[in-house]
Structure 1
Amino acid sequence: MRGTEQPAQETMRTPLSTYRLQLHAGFTFSQAIATAEYLCDLGISHVYSSPYLQAGSGSTHGYDVVDHHRVNAELGGVEGHEAFSRKLGELGLGQVLDIVPNHMSVDRTNRMWWDVLENGPSSRFATFFDIDWNSAEEKLRDKVLMPVLGDQYGRVLERREIHIDRDGVQFRVRYGEQEFPVAPRSLYGLLARAAELAPSDTLNFLAVSFARLPAPDSTDRSVQLARHRDKQVLLGLLQRLCREEEAICRSIDEALAELNGNIDALDEILNAQNFRLAYWRTSDQELGYRRFFDVNSLIGLRMEREYVFEETHELILYWLDKGVLDGVRIDHPDGLRDPKQYLERLRSSSPHAWIVVEKILEPGEWLRQDWPVQGTSGYDFMNLCNGLLVAPDGLRRIDAIYRDFTNEHESYADVMFEKKSKIAQETLASDVNRLANIFVAICENNRDSRDYTRAQIRRAIRNVAACFDIYRTYVVWTPDRQEIAEEDREHIGKAIEEAKRRKPDIDAGLFDFMSDILTLKVTGKLEGEFVARFQQFTSPIMAKGVEDTAFYTFNRLTSLNEVGGDPGLDGNSVEQFHAYNAHMQATFPTTMLTLSTHDTKRADDVRARIAVLAEMPGRWAAKVKRWSRVNAKYRTGAYPDPNTEYFLYQTLIGAWPIAEDRLKQYMQKAMREAKRITSWLANNQAYEDALNRFIEQILSDAAFVAEVESFVQRIRRDGCVNSLAQTLLKCTSPGVPDLYQGAELWDYSLVDPDNRRPVDYDLRRNMLAELRGFSREDAARFALAHFEQGYPKLWVILQALQLRYERPASFDQSATYEPLLPAGSKADHVIAYVRSGDVITVVARFPHRLDNNWSGTVLPLPPGKWTDRMTGRVHAGGAQIRISTLLDDFPVALLVRDSEATDGRDARKTPGRDLAA
């Protein structure tokens, strides 16, 4: 294993590039090992793996961790991980791991969670999880609500679907395939009855002893440990008794049969548990623990507690210390109570690690510079590129086309507010209730606010949260630490004023009082608790209301509907792009840059193709109206509605060719996420059936299919030029480029699980070998001659990543970034810049309008001899050069000054990568 006996500072290194691998039972460490040499030859410096600590059985993503001390057995366990790490080390490849500090799975195999369900607040692990043991609902005091039942509790019980059984001396409540531990004190009645049936004084003594265990409401550590010790002793004695006297086992089973046959007795023992089984729909209103968004099976961790951090990060920190890992990507830091504190602990524990955070930044928002990280996971860069490739005037025309076709006239801001409000009122209502309980207590202690009702407070909380235009603020109040940045005050003030405007019927004084608490003008223990929890609440409101709802309902140009994006904006200018890159070089020069991830709504190539529609709004309008007219015969009544139909046509264009089953599955997910006519919780079967029939029939209509193919063929190459442009920008802008698995060729995947389909690495390996067998000039010609297969994209990636190896100083923290400004009538179609004086990137945008006619547009080429790494062509600098000269032979240009010699690159790490000039 690479670096296992060397100190971290000698082995850790900042990635030059990363490649994301999604590990699961169908793609284990063994398969990952088989890809390693290919990734090395491609120019990747670090493999970036999805989470691989022990997850729940059958996990397809790894974010449902159940044990932080083990490697996932389904991926190959410790041996598989060691072999994987050893292979990477042999090739000189580093390793970055995605880690999950915010939550764990409530799977049966999570021993800490099982202990909490068994022992309630007295569990040794009760303080690890974010559970409200002091619920305002008496029935839930000191209990965990488990919303797992398919019907009302009483009905399920009447149907005998819940019972208690045992495995040795481990007693469990069973419901279908789910099981839960029986509280030790509640065993008294069962064991006492078994003692009568036996009869057995010893068993009766044990029954009484279980009843005398301390009540499960003590959080005193010494009581918790003593209770656990006594429980284990009693279980050991019971096990011994059962082993020595077979009749005891029979009497216990007989008592169990009696219990399961008596609904009242079964109900009584179920009510004595530390959890409450409930109908699954109750979770929206009454759930007593913080979740990951609205996923009941993922419970929040109290990561702000140092012992929780140490317990859950021991193995990760060991790998970082020994050089097995060079860095980590932090999943969902906004879910943490105090992200900055967490990151400071992590940085203190691993000073040299490359750390990036999955922080979703909204347009105009920057990553906090006092966070001790290298940057984000790249959504901000991705959205910058999305907007950069969209023609603003065309997008404004498309806006009118969309509204005319769908009769949808709400602004994006209104759609966003509406969807966030609905999520707060329904899906995340239990979180609102918890916040309201805290705020009510605050008001009770303040004479000027004590008359606000709980209903008013809930409404105010929902509306202020829905008015935030960012995921969250980072205000901190504890007795020994108070922090609030000016930008936090601005965002809070803006949200409060917007809430007042939208809800004038709510007393403005209530909003003002909430503002005073959120901005630390009014402080105290309860106030600090409200601030912390409110900030944890606004990010899931944004994620569920916007990412998973509004992005499927506001559909004027779906390429802009991406995580961290604002589909209401009219694109980004070249000046904005240069300003962003200059800022990143000055602040986070080794941030991650990405175009596709496991969470993106559409792959980069889908978005790149859809973006072309903004260059041809008139033709798009004509097509969408014609298709709707000719396909009207396939509708069932009002279904599909115009907004769905408009969304469907964009999907067809972006992902074409697409199989019927794949399209149906995607559209079902998309429309359920939209929550307009159908949803995950309330399926509208008539609507979904009508949509499926519509898809079947339009894809069986040869004339319609021919029109779609003809239209896509007209814009296919322009979409690919967009793709090559954003790919090269990603590989040469300030930061570390990341490739999502398989995206080195044209990739027309849609949202997960579509984007997690198996990747054909044999194909990619063979294509890469072909390209490496040519000179640059011949490789460029070959790639263009085989455009449809994806060779041009693979070539761009190969050349750009190789250059990063050869000239790391041109892209590192000390590098420079300088825009190159073109001149001429087509100047707005050019994006060009210089890195560290010796690498120039030149790409085109709006290729459909350009139609390869540059009209004499020129670019100032600095002095020197410049070789284009894409074509091998040499250009003399020191004068203006025509853009047509740079881009006629290949759609993008990557110019390198003077020599192509490597800068001391370790050839062992990059076997055979150097290509002929």
Structure 2
Amino acid sequence: MAEGLFAQVRRELESRRVTPLSTYRMQLHQDFTFQHAKATVPYLARLGVSDFYASPYLKATPGSTHGYDCVDHQRLNPEVGTPEDHAAFCAALREHGMGQVLDVVPNHMGIERDNRLWLDVLENGPSSVYAKFFDIDWRPVKDELADKVLLPILGDQYGIVLERGELKLSFDAGAFHLHYYDHRLPVAPRQYARILRHGLERLETQLGAEHPHLVELLSILTALEHLPPRTEVDRAKVIERHREKEVIKRRLAAAVADSPELLAYVEQNVRAFNGTPGNVRSFDMLDSLLQECSYRLAHWRVAGEEINYRRFFDINGLAAIRVEDPDVFTEAHQRIFEWLREGCVTGLRIDHPDGLFDPTAYFLDLQERFFVERARARFEADLKGGQDTRWPQVEALLRGLWRAEVMGTPDSPLRKALFVSVEKIQGGRERIPEAWAVHGTTGYRFANAVSGLFVHPAAEAHLTETYERFAGATQDFAELVYQKKLLIMRVSMASEINVLSHELNRISEMNRRTRDFTLNSLRRALIEFIALFPVYRTYVDGWRAELDARDVEYIEWTIQRAKERNTNTNASIFDFLRDILLGRYPDHVGDDEKAVMLRFAMKLQQVTGPVMAKGLEDTVFYIYNRLVSLNEVGGEPEHFGMRASIFHQRNEERVAHWPASMLTSSTHDTKRSEDVRARINVLTELPEAWRERARAWADLTQPFVSHLPSGPAPSANDTYLFFQTVVGAWPMGEQVSAQEMAEFHRRVREYMGKAIKEAKVRTSWTNPDGSYDDAMARYVDACFDPKTGRAFLDDVRAFKRRIERAGQHNALGQLLLKLASPGVVDTYQGCELWDLSLVDPDNRRPVDYALREKLLTALDADAAKDRQALCARLSKDLDDGQVKLFVLAESLRLRQKHADLFRKGGYLALELSGPRAPAAVGFARTHGDTVLIACAPRYTLEALESGGLSKAYDGTFLDLPEAYAGMMFRNVFTGSQVRPQQGPGGVGLALGPLFAEFPVVLLEMERSTG
């Protein structure tokens, strides 16, 4: 039976194996619900989007605007909508033939409020039924934290907070809780007895020894004393504790509800435990009670050094879960797989896989579970409503068959039956492990590549000199990254390093050859390794036969660099670390010792990624301000732009290995939107003019700079960032209303306030310098003041207007290249028109979909009347963004028309010839008899200022294969026919006439003329 079902589902999945053509990302929250999303579905379908791409919408922390702080995997976020709203939304998608890619967060949960799993852990410690769900070190370095969770939530030292009376005990529904502002923490059940016994003789005198309410209370106290302790981990005892503590709460609630005397007694004891501010000794009882709970309250600054649960990066309110455990995996994905089985969700986006203990195994688990769920649906359908008890046995057999095929046949269609995209940051030469059962990444690597095409390489030396002179220092990018990773490990992630160091020390004690390595020397070696590690992480797992060759290379390279930089350190310490990470265990080491070493290597992998992300993306990217359009997630700002040959090479690699990887240019996490980066890139086309303007603006705004004991505020480096930010994000168009300018002023002030804290140079989130923060705000306000800043604003406005059109051409060019490249095209909410957003929360502002729908309707009507006249109008006036909407809609619809080409088609890089050959990028997409050609101009500022693109590109050709000589093409945008002709490089397309019609070129082969 299982074999037949396996074959049936296998055929079914293979026949339906369809990946998205395009996605449209929306952020769902209380101000944009399922009902709002449903209303946009007809518009998105008309736009040409194949799949709705939703932010996480399981129940999150109340008020969450992003959904990455899930508190309950079993429920929808009620702020986003009801189950009925969700069903209606999914039905609307199906009605319009659209799929849904859902963002899934398997690495962590929000723990600040309403997380029943976390609260159970806080109540019961290691004896919680959910203790294994969270990545908690119950035996941390600090003995006082044994069997406890450190909660760094206090605004001051614990004793001060306690004695101010800010910690309040309460009683409700049979349970005691501790309150600290918005936090509501459970009291350990055994400590109920401490509260209930206080002054017990008083109650006995009042009621009498035989009173039934007193007898019931004494019985409850006996039950409390017999509860298994919170350190008990035997499964049977854990279940007993879980059951009995709830029975005790119900009994206590009933007794109190039935006895006014007992209620008054409990309330009086609660008041006594809460103490009286001014009377220090009155807080002793509450202090003693808290010492016996399964958590230790602490000042928030303690987190970096002593926290003993793994977090998402350094965010205390997000606790990592152990999804490698089958029970945790099931709990975290149950609802998601219900939606997959029902067809409500058709693909998954996996957030932060680098935080997982074993990402490779996790992705296989996803695909296996997807197959099993589809088989279960088929199994139940065949029963036609009947019952069959054989499913558990059938499921076990199916899993065995699935694993046998997938492990034995790497290219089995079952390995990637479910569309899975991963938020994997790829730095430098880092690639997705080929063993991952996924379709690719969410597209940061592509975003940086396509944006980099519009950075003129000739300006590198000039802009580097300008920046270093302006900032007053020479910046070595690699050294800066190294130093900031050290900073992160010293400040915000010291606890993680301490844990790893002590574990490494314990491993060294296993062997007489390494036992003399000191804890401090091992810690220094570990820190040096992580600081020098060139990528986010490796993927050693212990169950595959061989290590990935790239992982071996990264580790070997880093160890060698560490030795070179630390010549006074015993080299054998680094060799010891290398051998553990590469699984090169001594011959005499037993299996238990090998397991400990492997676990250390895999835990270390979970730390290198957050250190890199915090040190690079969230620190260096706010310091190294040479050209901030390069400072993007997954970017390499030390490299100045992207060569066309490398761009083509990456597209070819994607066709060969990851044809359904996503292509993005803006996301909810990007530091700057695609259109801001496109405009800033124009600075590379006029480096001398930029140098002059930056110097002039510095002179104009010098009176606004404050002089603090720590130095000028803002610093020259922060001022340089401010100038690029204002130029890049200034609203589009010649006329900007006073209201728009006021809003822009506010956004820039808030952005700069965040940027200087992220940089961690003069101020930071953990150690804010209010004087510097205030000085930055005053500086921005003075610059934007119509009176004090008039000269500055007028000059910036004029310069912005000079580079604006070239920036618009850059934006259209990168959009076209994205739309035509191999992969799944992603559009971030609102980016179908010009979007000049900065980092979150700025890039999560409301989107006017009514306007977009109205504009799309008008564009379609105008195109139906006269496409060439429409294109002429759009080309003349780019400021309103309709041209971007038109390019997006026409190209997305073309993707649907030629779905096989965009899913399976080949890629051919095209050369250019003629006077502006380096100033354009083009390629062809082919599948069977279908040919599409895309070409975008770049470095257009000089061309626009000297007569326009048509004149500038006169004599420049996009070279084509000889086989294309007899083809006729249709211009997708203008509708005109285009025939190849002879150019300086042979058969080609003359770009001058094409750019005269429209800013970018997309051609569809129409017919052969022989």
Once the two structures are TM-superposed, the CA of residue 10 in structure 1 deviates from its matched residue by 7.5
Once the two structures are TM-superposed, the CA of residue 176 in structure 1 deviates from its matched residue by 1.7
Q: Does residue 1:274 correspond to 2:294, yes or no?
A: yes
Name the SS for the 1:888 alignment partner: helix
Taking the TM superposition and a 5 Å limit, the aligned residue runs for 1:370-519 are 370-477=435-542, 483-519=546-582
Partner amino acid for 1:244? D
Q: Does residue 1:616 correspond to 2:616, yes or no?
A: no
Partner amino acid for 1:570? F
State how far apart, in whole Å, the 2-side matches of 1:609 and 1:703 are.
Answer: 22
Pair 758,7 (structure 1): closer, same or farther in 2 beyond 3 Å: farther
Q: Which residue of 519, 534, 546 corresponds with 2:616? A: 546
Pair 664,505 (structure 1): closer, same or farther in 2 beyond 3 Å: farther
Name the SS for the 1:789 alignment partner: coil
Partner amino acid for 2:784? L
Q: Does residue 1:789 correspond to 2:863, yes or no?
A: no
State how far apart, in whole Å, the 2-side matches of 1:239 and 1:686 are.
Answer: 52
Q: Does residue 1:227 correspond to 2:330, yes or no?
A: no
What's the counterpart of residue 531 of structure 1?
601
- Residue pair 1:332, 1:358 contacting (<8 A) in 2 also: yes
What's the counterpart of residue 779 of structure 1?
870
Once the two structures are TM-superposed, the CA of residue 446 in structure 1 deviates from its matched residue by 1.9
Name the SS for the 1:773 alignment partner: helix
Name the SS for the 2:335 alignment partner: helix
State how far apart, in whole Å, the 2-side matches of 1:629 and 1:259 are.
Answer: 63
What's the counterpart of residue 910 of structure 1?
none
State how far apart, in whole Å, the 1-side matches of 2:569 and 2:943 are.
Answer: 53
Taking the TM superposition and a 5 Å limit, the aligned residue runs for 1:391-790 are 391-477=456-542, 483-522=546-585, 524-637=594-707, 638-657=712-731, 659-700=744-785, 701-775=789-863, 776-790=867-881
Pair 121,668 (structure 1): closer, same or farther in 2 beyond 3 Å: same
| Offset from partner CA, 1:293-317 (integer Å, 9 cap, x none) | 0000100010111111111101111
- Residue pair 2:76, 2:82 contacting (<8 A) in 1 also: yes
Name the SS for the 2:445 alignment partner: helix
Task: Give runs of ≥4 in structure 1 deviating > 4 Å.
Answer: 6-12, 480-483
What's the counterpart of residue 75 of structure 1?
80
What's the counterpart of residue 316 of structure 1?
336
State how far apart, in whole Å, the 2-side matches of 1:293 and 1:512 are.
Answer: 28
Taking the TM superposition and a 5 Å limit, the aligned residue runs for 1:848-863 are 848-851=941-944, 852=949, 853-861=952-960, 862=964, 863=966
State how far apart, in whole Å, the 2-side matches of 1:483 and 1:556 are.
Answer: 42
Partner amino acid for 1:611? N
Partner amino acid for 2:860? R
Taking the TM superposition and a 5 Å limit, the aligned residue runs for 1:893-904 are 893-898=1001-1006
What's the counterpart of residue 400 of structure 2?
none
TM-score between the two structures when normalised by the length of structure 2: 0.87
- Residue pair 1:7, 1:322 contacting (<8 A) in 2 also: no
Q: Does residue 1:124 correspond to 2:129, yes or no?
A: yes
State how far apart, in whole Å, the 2-side matches of 1:157 and 1:318 are.
Answer: 46
Once the two structures are TM-superposed, the CA of residue 571 in structure 1 deviates from its matched residue by 1.6
Once the two structures are TM-superposed, the CA of residue 481 in structure 1 deviates from its matched residue by 5.2
Pair 731,254 (structure 1): closer, same or farther in 2 beyond 3 Å: same
What's the counterpart of residue 802 of structure 1?
893
State how far apart, in whole Å, the 2-side matches of 1:226 and 1:364 are.
Answer: 53
Once the two structures are TM-superposed, the CA of residue 833 in structure 1 deviates from its matched residue by 0.8
What's the counterpart of residue 238 of structure 1?
252
Q: Does residue 1:844 correspond to 2:937, yes or no?
A: yes
State how far apart, in whole Å, the 2-side matches of 1:667 and 1:899 are.
Answer: 55
- Residue pair 2:500, 2:604 contacting (<8 A) in 1 also: yes
More moved, 715-724 vs 834-843: 834-843
Q: Which residue of 977, 997, 1000 corresponds with 1:874? A: 977
Name the SS for the 2:775 alignment partner: helix
Q: Which residue of 63, 69, 74 corresponds with 1:58? A: 63
Once the two structures are TM-superposed, the CA of residue 483 in structure 1 deviates from its matched residue by 4.4
- Residue pair 1:360, 1:471 contacting (<8 A) in 2 also: yes
Once the two structures are TM-superposed, the CA of residue 7 in structure 1 deviates from its matched residue by 8.2
State how far apart, in whole Å, the 2-side matches of 1:73 and 1:610 are.
Answer: 41
- Residue pair 1:396, 1:570 contacting (<8 A) in 2 also: no
State how far apart, in whole Å, the 2-side matches of 1:645 and 1:505 are.
Answer: 40
Once the two structures are TM-superposed, the CA of residue 188 in structure 1 deviates from its matched residue by 1.4
State how far apart, in whole Å, the 2-side matches of 1:137 and 1:416 are.
Answer: 30
More moved, 573-582 vs 388-397: 388-397
Runs (5+) with no aligned partner, structure 1: 1-5, 901-917
Name the SS for the 2:713 alignment partner: coil
Once the two structures are TM-superposed, the CA of residue 107 in structure 1 deviates from its matched residue by 2.9
Name the SS for the 2:706 alignment partner: coil
State how far apart, in whole Å, the 1-side matches of 2:544 and 2:808 are.
Answer: 52
Q: Which residue of 258, 265, 268 corresponds with 1:251? A: 265
Runs (5+) with no aligned partner, structure 2: 1-10, 205-213, 276-281, 372-416, 586-592, 732-740, 982-986
More moved, 661-670 vs 198-207: 198-207
State how far apart, in whole Å, the 1-side matches of 2:161 and 2:420 are.
Answer: 48
Q: Which residue of 830, 845, 859 corresponds with 2:920? A: 830
Name the SS for the 1:838 alignment partner: strand
Q: Does residue 1:152 correspond to 2:162, yes or no?
A: no
RMSD: 1.7
| Offset from partner CA, 1:848-885 (integer Å, 9 cap, x none) | 24443125111234231101111112111363221112
- Residue pair 2:954, 2:990 contacting (<8 A) in 1 also: no
- Residue pair 1:8, 1:323 contacting (<8 A) in 2 also: no
Once the two structures are TM-superposed, the CA of residue 410 in structure 1 deviates from its matched residue by 2.4
Once the two structures are TM-superposed, the CA of residue 526 in structure 1 deviates from its matched residue by 1.9
What's the counterpart of residue 421 of structure 2?
356
- Residue pair 1:47, 1:94 contacting (<8 A) in 2 also: yes
| Offset from partner CA, 1:451-484 (integer Å, 9 cap, x none) | 222222222222211111111000113xx65641
- Residue pair 1:144, 1:288 contacting (<8 A) in 2 also: yes
More moved, 680-689 vs 545-554: 680-689
Name the SS for the 1:104 alignment partner: strand
- Residue pair 1:14, 1:326 contacting (<8 A) in 2 also: no
- Residue pair 2:173, 2:250 contacting (<8 A) in 1 also: no
State how far apart, in whole Å, the 1-side matches of 2:891 and 2:571 are.
Answer: 56
| Offset from partner CA, 1:485-536 (integer Å, 9 cap, x none) | 1100110111222222333343322112111111111271221121011100
State how far apart, in whole Å, the 2-side matches of 1:501 and 1:825 are.
Answer: 48
- Residue pair 1:94, 1:325 contacting (<8 A) in 2 also: yes
Once the two structures are TM-superposed, the CA of residue 194 in structure 1 deviates from its matched residue by 5.9
More moved, 136-145 vs 502-511: 502-511
State how far apart, in whole Å, the 1-side matches of 2:433 and 2:306 are.
Answer: 34
- Residue pair 2:21, 2:825 contacting (<8 A) in 1 also: yes
Q: Does residue 1:297 correspond to 2:317, yes or no?
A: yes
Count of residue pairs the alignment pairs up: 892
Partner amino acid for 1:723? A
- Residue pair 1:721, 1:847 contacting (<8 A) in 2 also: yes
Name the SS for the 1:631 alignment partner: helix
Name the SS for the 1:142 alignment partner: coil
- Residue pair 1:85, 1:324 contacting (<8 A) in 2 also: yes
More moved, 383-392 vs 8-17: 8-17
Partner amino acid for 2:610? P
More moved, 28-37 vs 186-195: 186-195
